[in-house]
Amino acid sequence: MTDDFPTYRTRADLEKLLADGAVEGTSLEFKDSRALSKEDRNVADLCANVSALANSNGGQIIFGINENKKTKGPVVVDDGVEDPTVTREWIGQILNSRIHPRMSRYTIDQIDMGNGKFGFCISVPQSQTGPHQAPDKKYYKRFELEVRPMEDYEIRDVLNRATHPDLWVDFAFKSGDRAELEFDIRQDVSSPVRIFGTIKNRSAQPSFHTFFRLGVSASLGFNTVKPPWTMHRTQETTKYGKIQWTTQRTSSPPDFPIFKEVDQPLDGHGVTLQFHSRTMAQAHRWPLLIEIHSPGFSSLEAWYIDQQSTSLRLLQPGHPLLR
């Protein structure tokens, strides 16, 4: 999953999250505000849950949503944490002192419930310095909707993260995660919509040789493909339907290595898509797939282009609307 987590600052943000249909998953957990307290069992649970996200694929824990234990779905936004001494600073002190090794990357956002109380959202990227141990001396992971102790081989896998590149791509339209389709009255297809990709590396290990495969629903298809991209075949998939692929390779030298400190564009111009006017009749979620291979590393992530009439929105892997 990407590190660009959604931000929640107010009660209205949480209510919109629920209204949009978000549910718990491997990278999103809802917690009643009463679960965030200074009681020993709640402190232990906090550390186990946060370390599990870091040891797995990362994600968010939101304290402030009354969870339905039977359906694993949210019920309502609650009134916030009762104890005024439970603050961002206190949560940070607990995580920094009780989880080992100390996690270097996470954020804690305070959520104003509008009644003088607060909820909290803890956003935890996948760790490159783990595995991280909870106060009970166990290593935890997220598995479906649960937190479970890790197996020996899973602990070794996390230890190996720092020895290989860990690449991912962040996509955006020209104006961010949203765009509007434009149609000429004489044309059945939209003006080209450009999507830009930025390649990033979470690991301290650079990638010197990288293969990228970018796929989009064949119902859209690429409008044009320019170097460094090369048009590849169309493939029928079980999960995503028919996908049209384009590929590129980088190698250093002569290309610049992909390393943690510098984000790099996938290309200098982006890729362009066009949408037929008939797609405006109903809502669509078009898959946008990015496959990356480098020595010691392989990944396939699915983004989606959410289309509501002429409005487009990019949904990254792990987005609440996809969970």
The DSSP annotation for 55-77 comes to: HTT-EEEEESEEEETTTTEEEEE
pLDDT of the residue at 323 = 61
**pLDDT tens digits for range 268-294:** 899 999 999 999 999 999 999 999 999
Vertex 30, ends 28 and 31: CA angle to 5°? 140
pLDDT(73) > 60: no
The CATH number of the structural domain formed by 167-322 is 2.60.40
pLDDT(55) > 80: yes
pLDDT(322) > 90: no
pTM: 0.65
| pLDDT tier at 235, thresholds 50, 70, 90 | very high
pLDDT(105) > 90: no
pLDDT of the residue at 71 = 58
In percent, the amount of the chain with pLDDT more than 70 equals 96
pLDDT of the residue at 101 = 94
In percent, the amount of the chain with pLDDT more than 90 equals 74
Vertex 234, ends 228 and 240: CA angle to 5°? 105
pLDDT(221) > 70: yes
pLDDT(162) > 80: no
pLDDT of the residue at 69 = 60
pLDDT of the residue at 199 = 96
Q: Is 254 left (phi over 0), alpha (psi -120 to 50) or beta?
A: alpha
CA distance linking residue 211 with residue 141, whole number of Å:
29
DSSP conformational letter for 116: S
Mean pLDDT of 87-108: 94
Query: Can you give the residue ranges of every domain in the chain?
Result: 11-162, 167-322
**Do 11-162 and 167-322 come out as alike in CATH topology?**
no
What's the CATH architecture for 11-162? 2-Layer Sandwich (3.30)
Vertex 217, ends 215 and 219: CA angle to 5°? 145
With tokens 């590396």, the residue in question is 201
- Mean pLDDT over each residue of the chain, to the nearest integer: 91
